[in-house]
Every structure is written in structure tokens, then in C-alpha cells.
Amino acid sequence: MDKIAVLIPCYNEEKTIAKVIRDAKAALPEAVIYVYNNNSKDRTAEIALAEGAIVRNEYMQGKGNVIRRMFREIDALVYVMVDGDDTYPMDSAPEMVDLVLNHNSDMVVGDRLSSTYYQENKRPFHNFGNNLVRGSINKLFGCNIRDIMTGFRAFSYEFVKTFPVLSKGFEIETEMTIHAVYNNMQIDNVVIEYRDRPEGSESKLNTYADGMKVLKTIAKLYRNYKPFGFFLIFSLVLALISIFFLVPIVTEYWRTGLVPRFPTLIVCCFIMLSAVQSFFAGVILSTLAVNNRREFEMQLNMLQRHKETDMMK
């Protein structure tokens, strides 16, 4: 088991990967540096090897697939994940590592949005998207994460080995955050500097397509982790629709004793039944979610014993 592992997912980062590796070595000289090459068509892997990093490959395209591979293969007391595009200075890495090793942090978030991100980033829709995602997650899950989409984080062994990677692409950062929040894992924020990509280095993000994937991921994870709240919203919407169309029918019946719109009445009844079903679906799934939390805590205890055994070897 490594003490510190620096994990760098890469796709066509030949212009910046050498500097990122050198900066990582300077900031964390005791760390083992892993570069995971994701089908790069340039010299990323060759340069990383020349700089002394351990280079491995993930052939399924997408950042989520790369992170799944990294988390499966690497055992370490603390993991530092940083993008290979040189947008995150490594100066804050020692502080992030210290929080994991000595202050029980499970995930340390490199907070760009509280420093230079809005000045450095030249894509206004990315700024809007970051704020929208951050506000949505903090509201839905009752937390205070300052930067949801950052690619600079540190993790504990327990987080990495219990995190089920489901996303394939850039929505993985959102999934990480919600996993930590829902399972009551300790999250700390460290304000970091951010710099835009150097000239000649191109972003792999598609503002609109990846933005929609992130929003879909939030909705899906809210359904999975907070099923009562999710289905309660549907239940209330359906109930309001039913009542809206039912009130005129009932009013007409009280006034004349007649029901002139039987088809509308029947549809309203079915919509109200759907509302009741949604409510009880939320209750049942919420109970199952509580049981999943219990199993997760037991899994954490087993991982802790496994880690202590590995450290004694």
C-alpha cells in the first residue's frame, strides 16, 4: 500500500503533462505518481514515462471509466486526484493530504470558485453551470460544498474503496460529491488557485452536452439517495393536477346534482391514485435506502480492519 498516490487521468495532454508531474513531485516528494492514459492520440504516455511516472491505460473512453480503473487498482492511505491540463497548481496538495491523514477527512475538495476561477475561466456558460450545479446539490442534499465540479481532490482509502463508480464521463465529480454527502463522510474544502489552460491545450468538455449529463446525474442520484423527497415531488404534482380538474366537477355536482363530465372525473381519480402510489413508493424506497446506509457502515468497518492489516504487513 502506497502512503500517497497522485492519480492523473489524461487524454491528449502532451503540452502540460510534464509540468503537472514535476509540480506533483515538488509538492509531494514521497508520493507515487500514476498517469492513466485514456486512448491519447499524442505523446502523453511517452512524456509521462520520461518524467518518471507510472503509466497505465484505460481503453474505455471517459473520465468516469478512468477513475473506476484507478480506484480499483491503486491502494494508498491517501489519494490525490488532479487533472493533467495544468489548471490546478499543486501548492495546496500537502494541506489536502494532511487533512486526510491527520484530520479524518474522507474527501478534500479543491475549491476553485472561491478564488480565481471566474477571472481565469473564459467560458461564461461554464461559470453559470458551476453555480447551477453547486446550488442544486447544496439545496437538494442539505450540504455546503463550495465547488462540485473541481478536478482537484484528495480522498481517503475508505472513500475510494466504497465509492461505486457509475458515471462514464465528466459527471463523475458530481457523483463523488453526492456519495460523500449522503453517506455522512467528512468533507473539507481547501481554497486553491485556478489558471486557465495554456495556449494550445484544448478542453475536452462540451458545455451543453456535458452540462445536461450532469443535471441528469443529479436527478438520478437524488432519486436513488433521497427517494422519499423525489417521489413526494411527483406525488404532490399529480395530486395538484387531479384537484385542479376535480374542483369544477365537484362544484357543479353540489350546485346541480349532476356530473356532466364523467371522463374527466375518471381521469382525475386515476391521477390521484398515481399520486398515492408515488407517495408510498417513496416511503418503501426510503426504508430500503436506510438499510443500505446500515450496510455501508458495516462495509466501512471491514475496510478499516483490512487497511490496518495491510499497514502491519
pLDDT in tens, the chain (313 residues): 789 999 999 999 999 999 999 999 999 999 999 999 999 999 999 999 999 999 999 999 999 999 999 999 999 999 999 999 999 999 999 999 999 999 999 999 999 888 777 776 666 666 677 788 888 888 888 888 888 889 999 999 999 999 999 888 878 888 999 999 999 999 999 999 888 766 665 666 666 676 787 788 888 888 888 899 999 999 999 999 999 999 998 988 888 888 878 888 899 999 999 999 999 999 999 999 888 888 888 887 787 777 777 766 6
Query: What beta strand segments (E) does the chain contain?
Result: 2-10, 32-37, 54-57, 76-81, 107-111, 153-156, 187-191
pLDDT of residue 122: 63
Burial 42-59 (b: 16+ CB within 10 A, else e): ebbbebbeebebebeebe
The cell for 283 is 416511503
Q: Are 213 and 169 in contact (CB under 8 A)?
A: yes
pTM for this model (two decimals):
0.80
Q: What is the pLDDT of residues 121-149, one digit of tens each?
A: 666 666 677 788 888 888 888 888 888 88
Alpha helix (H) ranges present in 163-261? 172-182, 207-225, 227-256
Distance of CA 116 to the CA centre of its chain: 22
The answer regarding whether domain 2-222 maps to CATH 3.90.550.10 reads yes
**Where is 287: in which H helix or E strand?**
helix 262-312
Measured distance between the N- and C-terminal CA atoms of the chain, rounded to whole angstroms = 10
CA–CA distance, 303 with 308 (Å, rounded to integer)? 9
Domain locations along the chain: 2-222, 227-312
